[in-house]
Chain A
Amino acid sequence: MNNRKQIVVAVAGNPNAGKSTLINAIAGSRLHVGNWPGVTVEKKEAGFEFEGHYIRLVDLPGCYSLSPYTQEEIITRDYLVQEPPDLIVNVVDATNLERNLYLTVQLMELGIPLVMALNIYDEAESKGLRINASQMAETLGIAVIPTSAVKKSGLDDLLRTVVQVADSPEAHRPKRLNYGEDVENALEGILDHILHSHASLLDRYPVRWLLLKILEEDASVLKAANITSGSLPQQPFDHLRRAHGDDIEGLMADARYAMVAGLCREVLSRPEKRNPELTERIDRIVLNRFLGIPIFMAAMWLLFKLTFDLSAPFGEWIKDMTGGPFKRWTEVVMGTIGAPDWTVSLVNDGVIAGVGSVLVFVPVIFAMMFFITFLEGSGYMARAAFVMDRAMHAIGLHGKSFIPMLLGFGCNVAGIYATRTLENPKDKVLTALLIPLMSCGARLPVYVLFVGIFFPDNSGTVIWVLYILGMALAVLMGFLFKKTLFRGEVPMFIMELPPYRMPSFVSLCLHTWEKGKHFLIKAGTYIFAVSVLVWFLLNLPWGVENKHESYLGRAGSVIAPVFKPLGFGTWEAASSLITGVIAKEIVVGTMGEIYAPKKDDEGEKEQPTLGEDVKEIMVSFSGAGIKAVSSLFYLPIEAEKEEDTTALNEAVKGHFTPLSAFAFMAFVLLYMPCMVVVAAMRQEFGTWRWAGMAALYSTLLAWVVAFLVYQGGMLLGLGG
């Protein structure tokens, strides 16, 4: 262990330069990547062995400069300054050289050995950009390695250089950039003062960087270093102000821009004539003032349609398997080991009915995550935010808030953390309050169950309506909050629109799996645990005959009247909603247990053998595959409308009408965010206040909306 040298490598660069992709390509990790700025919002690590060294790569949130504005930029700067790594790999987007180099010159000031990965080199080449890497390396005094994280080229080169530089850091200090005589003199003056009265600071911070920050009067650095600007000698500042005007920070920024522009003139040559690129042509349509929002809505609709059509057959298959062979096998196994009767019921009517009814929806969730990953990777996500910005600006929100909200479609928790990309703390809280209204993957099982029973012909569309309903309410509530709790100016929204990129199929699958696996983990852990507890609650007091009289039944009955005006005032619905606070899928799981068929319903049937079972599993799986593919091409496979006759479906059909089913779905969409979201909000904002507020207002909103849906529908005569 000890003869192996450990190298800590910070990977820093502009947002969307491909830092996370590069680390994934090198270390085989699965960091979240996406084609929009601001994907990574906290420090992440991946480690591996390379030629006798242990290399720890630290992925940092992207930033445009080291004078940070947003929380995730602060994370990056604090890390680089306070826990200096052995080496920084500066990932530079070769297609945006000038903007990226602005950060590079600042990173050089940190005095940490620096290696530049000139990434996205493949795209730069195909655009006809020519970059003289060796000249750039010479001018800056750092190694410059052209790489492509996607094509996996140049990576070995990069690693070898990293090891080399780490082995002899002294020989690889970046060149010191000269800011001109006036600035350099001022820096000297400050250095004298620091040597006199704050010498200890020189051990804590890189010297030149510290001097520059003091000169720029960077508030957070002065505060951290315990220097009041009054205690500084005024002479260097005055001298500079007299020569160059009052804005010293601006002066420094100009100097850096000038260096970068000069460098680019030397090393970069652009092709003479350029055709409008594909990205521009697509954007002309997609970002069109009038078509933008309709196109976004249509894209969403298509997403649900595809999700639903592709996954439904596999869901059916899982349903048949858990309710059929799987259940039989556990019965046989438990019978042979002589397990007590009640444990057999616990496993069958508790675990299999509960977890099983959630597992049925795993294919839907995965399909959904697949399409969301595609949207993220292609670059459309940033456009959606841009398009919505116009609409949202009108009511006092801005489009950047929309990205965390879109991420909330996958999992609300992800959305809550993505609010870190917002500059203004008020916007952050406001956006986080709205995210629970975005329908996450965990609510899909509820929709799919009800839609499959009551709206089998328009399933995709009804689910789409629910998502739109959530978004529309988010906009409405955002407006109300902005007018009451969070008054203030709406800052202009500036967002880079990255070029469209076709994500590779392999990376799509990997990232789909990363997102989807958490739902499997949930099913295996707390959904499982809750299923067990619900079984007990349904069977206590011990020996209770009628589930209605069980503890859960009684609890449900107590609050059921609250839901009466909403069209679902049954104890079954009420108790599912109670348990669903832990996670929304559990609504379905609990229903599965409540409506689990009573024993001896099935009578003595011929039991198939193990071999027959296995064969049946295979055959029906390939059948599901064929159905999914044919639905994709709208080949009507012979319409053998199998009636769904599971106990759960039958029972739901008996207890709801299409109208009350819709009200119920709307309620599930809106009421109280799941516990994990509440906990995430509490963690992110450090107080229960906003988490509590989100739980409270969303539950009230859910009630009101479901009430309006149900009563409105009754008035319109849709009650049937």
Chain B
Amino acid sequence: MTFLDIFLMIMIVGGAFLILYRTLWKKKGCCGDTGCGGCSSKKQI
């Protein structure tokens, strides 16, 4: 276990929590980021 290892681990775990936070907590619109069949996307052409 070097300092680099510990640093990497903290970054990875932090990143994982960040993803969880962004996808599960911060909801956008009807289905959040996760979505589902009932919600349709808005597409611009």
Contacts and interface: CB of A to CB of B under 8 A. Distances in A.
Contacts of B35: 411, 413, 517-518, 521
A342 B41 contact: no
Interface in A478-526: 514-515, 517-518, 521-522, 525-526
A596 interface: no
Interface string B14-45: 01110110111001001111111111111111
Contact of B43 (A29, A536, A675): A29
Contact of A526 (B15, B23, B27, B31): B23
A521 B23 CA distance: 10
Contacts of B43: 27-30, 46
B37 A369 contact: yes
Contact of B34 (A343, A518, A530): A518
A529 B33 contact: no
A525 B45 contact: no
B40 to A, nearest CB: 4
A413 B38 CA distance: 8
A173 B26 CA distance: 44
Contacts of A521: 33-35
Contacts of B32: 676, 679
Contacts of B33: 521, 525
Interface stretch (A265-273, A414-422, A608-616, A640-648): A414-422
B23 to A, nearest CB: 4
Contact of A28 (B9, B17, B45): B45
A29 B40 CA distance: 9
B42 A32 contact: no
| Residue in B34, B40, B44 with the greatest tally of chain A CB atoms within 10 Å | B40
A542 B9 CA distance: 12
What range describes how many residues of B lie at the interface? Answer: 20 to 34
Interface residues of A, number: 50
B16 A529 contact: yes
Given A28-B43, A526-B24, A529-B19, A340 B36 contact: no
Nearest to B19: A529
A415 B38 contact: yes
B13 A532 contact: yes
B8 A675 contact: no
Contact of B38 (A48, A411, A522, A676): A411
Interface residue SS majority, chain A: helix
B24 A44 contact: no
A518 B35 CA distance: 6
B44 to A, nearest CB: 5
Contacts of B27: 679, 683
Interface string A10-29: 00000000001000000111
A582 interface: yes
A407 B34 contact: no
Contact of B8 (A20, A44, A340): A340
A680 interface: yes
| Residue in B19, B22, B34 with the greatest tally of chain A CB atoms within 10 Å | B34
B41 A30 contact: yes
B30 A42 contact: yes
Given A413-B36, A518-B34, A521-B34, A45 B42 contact: yes
Contacts of B12: 346, 532
A30 B44 contact: no
Given A29-B42, A369-B37, A676-B24, A413 B31 contact: yes
B37 A32 contact: yes
A518 B36 contact: yes
A676 B40 contact: no
B37 A407 contact: yes
Interface of B: 1, 4-5, 8-9, 12-13, 15-17, 19-20, 22-24, 27, 30-45
Give me the 5 closest cross-chain CB pairs, A-B, nearest first.
Answer: A414-B38, A411-B36, A515-B37, A410-B37, A518-B35
29 contacts: A29-B40, A30-B40, A30-B43, A31-B40, A32-B38, A32-B40, A45-B42, A46-B44, A48-B44, A340-B5, A372-B37, A407-B37, A407-B38, A411-B31, A411-B36, A413-B31, A414-B31, A417-B39, A514-B40, A517-B35, A525-B33, A526-B20, A529-B16, A532-B13, A532-B16, A533-B17, A542-B1, A582-B24, A675-B24
Given A515-B36, A532-B13, A533-B16, 16 more contacts: A30-B40, A45-B42, A46-B42, A48-B44, A340-B4, A410-B38, A417-B38, A417-B39, A517-B35, A518-B37, A525-B19, A525-B23, A529-B17, A533-B17, A533-B20, A676-B34
